[in-house]
Amino acid sequence: MEFTESYKQTGPCCFSPNSRFIAVAVDYRLVIRDTLSFKVVQLFSCLDKISYIEWAVDSEYILCGLYKRPMIQAWSLTQPEWTCKIDEGPAGISYARWSPDSRHILTTSDFQLRLTVWSLVNTACVHVQWPKHGSKGVSFTQDGKFAAICTRRDCKDYVNLLSCHSWEIMGVFAVDTLDLADIEWSPDDSAIVIWDSPLEYKVLIYSPDGRCLFKYQAYESGLGVKSVSWSPCGQFLAVGSYDQMLRVLNHLTWKTFAEFTHLSTVRGPCCAALFKEVDEPLQLDMSELCLSDDFIQNKNGDASEGHFGVRYEVMELPVTLPFQKPPADKPNPKQGIGLMSWSNDSQYICTRNDSMPTILWIWDIRHLEIAAILVQKYPIRAVAWDPTCARLVLCTGSSHLYMWTPSGAYCVNIPLPQFTITDLKWNSDGSCLLLKDKESFCCAAVPVLPESSEYSSDE
């Protein structure tokens, strides 16, 4: 892997959908860099510190959320003189997003008073009263023709279907939820999944005309659903619960066909490989290397990882995994499936049980078994699947990048002084990774994955 130098950032960073540009927030400035040369191609000055950025689907426009002001500013890459400013006045703005046609911006006001659709074509706006959530509760069909927006009035939850062409309400139906958590269209646009708050275990499948196709409830007592995700192929619906189990539903019958348990002790027989991150002393030529203070000490003044590389060691079963029992007297317990992500081909799904924050589980949906378990030194911050193949990358806030493929797992050291990875993102063609530190970012060129490759457990 080849790494760029580090560049300054003070907020969000993301690739454009066409992978040609990287948008970076640097205080009041929005910096647009070319993905290949990393030269600055556009520089926009905002009226306040940038809290949020989002590209339009066509990569021509980009919006900046200045939530402290609160205000939205939008810019055009092809027409640098064009600008747009959205200010809701006393109502405020808690969140903003693009519509699929890249010509409308949806904003949610503070206290969920209303959701407003702003047109960049004719300056018209449409209001939807009482949206359920600020950043959640809105989902678009894959073809971009319809939007499902959750609202709440008279102590009851509703789904509003809007046409993304005219923004007229095509239909409204009530849903059987106590306190609706979120909504998501299926990848084939044939169904809508809705799930309730953790206090009520309820997953509901609705047709676009408001018919309830299926109601799923795994158990009644205890906290319920924590995460829900469609597979990219649309055939499976994964439900992660507070009981530390992953359940997968079939889209034809809506029945559970797989249940995966996250056990604290893994025993044989088990066909999965269990990789544990361990330190490995670096082989340094002291006659040619002069250790600087930066190399010897890290940001906290402790002994740096510079003295050590890391590698994965294959563990023998049985293995007892580190487990944190959440306190019973505190809200929002750290347990259950808090992180869940499908591979692009829908064959694998990775999960993190929040009571075992250093463990990543990778499940093989085709064979309905565990494919691999990664045991990290530090809690897992972020994971991301390669959009082109079954390759997974993850970070733990250390100076190392971790990768897994069906052929094995390996660790990569970041060759930048005091650079720790707190977040990561792929570009759309899988050729480049964006790695974020607290105040900087870099990119890594990722080689194409051979079809029959064998990786060693260290690199």
Output the pLDDT for position 420.
96
Confidence of residue 451 (pLDDT cuts 50, 70, 90): low
Cis peptide bond N-terminal to 208, omega within 30: no
Output the pLDDT for position 119.
95
CB atoms within 10 A of CB 191: 21
Phi/psi of residue 295, nearest 5 degrees: -75, -35
Asked if pLDDT for residue 292 goes beyond 60, the answer is: no
Q: What is the C-alpha to C-alpha distance for residues 392 and 387, in angstroms, rounded to an integer?
A: 10
By C-alpha distance, which of 190, 226, 187, 233 is closest to 349?
233
Compute the Cα dihedral for 406, 412, 418, 424 and give only its sign.
negative
Output the pLDDT for position 411.
96
Output the pLDDT for position 304.
42
Tokens of 359: 């463990």
pLDDT > 90 in the chain, percent: 83
- The set of residues, in sequence order, having a beta carbon less than 8 Å from that of 207 and lying 6+ positions away, is 190, 191, 192, 213
pLDDT > 70 in the chain, percent: 92
> Tens digits of per-residue pLDDT, 195-228?
999 999 999 999 999 999 999 999 998 899 999 9
> Tens digits of per-residue pLDDT, 232-268?
999 999 999 999 999 999 999 999 999 999 999 998 7
Fold topology of 9-87: Thrombin, subunit H (2.40.10)
Domain boundaries, the chain: 9-87
Output the pLDDT for position 287.
46
Tokens of 459: 């690199």
> Tens digits of per-residue pLDDT, 369-406?
999 999 999 999 999 999 999 999 999 999 999 999 99
> Tens digits of per-residue pLDDT, 54-100?
999 999 999 999 998 899 999 999 998 999 999 988 889 999 999 99
